Amino acid sequence: MLRTMMTLSIVALGPGTLLLAQDLPPNVVAKYVIYEDPNDVDSDILMDVQYHLAPYDRDGDDVTWEFVGVTVREYIGGVLVKSWSDDLPDVDTVDGYWTVTHDNPEKPSNDDFVVPPLVEGTGSADFGTTTSLDYSVLGALYSPPVGGPHFSNATGRLDYIFGHVPQPLLDDDGPVWIEPIPVDPVW
């Protein structure tokens, strides 16, 4: 699998509700943005991957998240040209969920979602195409270059393959940025 880097901005959550000690946090959407020049946040966006996450369980600071959907979008010249979605994708963990240890489970932060597990599936065409999209995305730790990361937000790395028949889009070992998502996402 090929590698790229990503950065993470604020992951938006539901309304700021006071939660009891073991209450579940609201749904979140983590959006990972892949740029044409992985070292330049001002370059054109090529793709973005959105993970629609719902809390499944909580044990202290550990929240177990269910992937209720994945959206993959493709851009040309900064304009959205194609979109695919997949409900309940395959998540390569022992239980099929993503358990994250949060500094503050009531308010998960960007840093909490930097290294997602392997998520694979086939997205159905939503916009701009009639062809399905095979995808495989895995988070990895990011070691910033000398001088610091290229982006101002939390940074991680994704290994990914997007497969349009007949030619897949493979990553280029560059950073991927995660940008804010509207509060309390509705799917």
Cα–Cα distance, 124 to 23 (Å, whole number):
34
Cβ neighbors of 59 (< 8 A, separation 6 or more) are none
Q: What span, in angstroms and rounded, lies between the C-alpha atoms of 59 and 69?
A: 23
Question: From CA 17, how far away is CA 162, in angstroms rounded?
Answer: 37
Residue 26's alpha-carbon distances to 81, 106, 107, in angstroms, are: 30, 8, 9
pTM, to two decimals: 0.77
**pLDDT tens digits for range 15-31:** 433 334 468 999 999 98
Strongest mean pLDDT among 42-46, 86-90, 136-140: 86-90
| CB of 34 closer than 8 Å to CB of 4 | yes
Q: In this structure, what DSSP letter does residue 129 have?
A: -
**117 preceded by cis ω (within 30°)?**
no
Report the number of secondary-structure helices (H) and strands (E) in the chain: 0, 12
Distance, CA of 64 to chain centre = 16
Is pLDDT of 56 > 70?
yes
More confident residue, 32 or 37: 32
DSSP calls for 154-175: EEEEEEEEEE-SS-EEE--S--
Torsion sign (Cα): 78, 82, 87, 89: negative
The mean predicted confidence, pLDDT, of the chain is 79
Confidence (pLDDT) at 41: 76
Percent of residues, the chain, with pLDDT higher than 70: 71
